[in-house]
Amino acid sequence: GNSVTQMEGPVTLSEEAFLTINCTYTATGYPSLFWYVQYPGEGLQLLLKATKADDKGSNKGFEATYRKETTSFHLEKGSVQVSDSAVYFCALSDTSYQLTFGKGTKLSVIP
């Protein structure tokens, strides 16, 4: 079956630090890959997505590249802000569009 593994949190960074949250997946076929973000007290929001190998998703300064050879979709941001503090979920979807999520990584950015 499908599965997503992402790095355990929590992650605490200083403002303007570089962020990487690792995500690897197991799937049959060619899934689409996603990063969702859940800000404190808010619902789950799509941050970025990539639908095929070597695609790069980007949004709000975050990037992730679909690497089929390493089955990875690591999330990166060059300079984090306090407002980026949230829980980040890596996910994949198959042909039924059903999402399989990782356990989430809590990011805290301190001034």
The answer to the question of residue 107 lying near other proteins (CB under 8 A) is: no
Question: Smallest gap, in angstroms, from Cβ of residue 59 to other proteins?
Answer: 12
Which lies closer to other proteins via its Cβ, residue 80 or residue 90?
90
DSSP state of 104: -
The answer to the question of residue 102 lying near other proteins (CB under 8 A) is: yes
DSSP state of 83: G
For residue 9, how many other CB atoms are within 10 A of its CB?
15
Q: Which two tokens stand for residue 17?
A: 């630090």
Subset of 26-85 contacting other proteins (CB under 8 A): 36, 42-46, 49
Which lies closer to other proteins via its Cβ, residue 45 or residue 83?
45
Contact 95/109 with Cβ under 8 angstroms? no
For residue 73, how many other CB atoms are within 10 A of its CB?
31
Name the one range near other proteins by CB under 8 A: 21-29, 53-61, 65-73, 89-97: 89-97
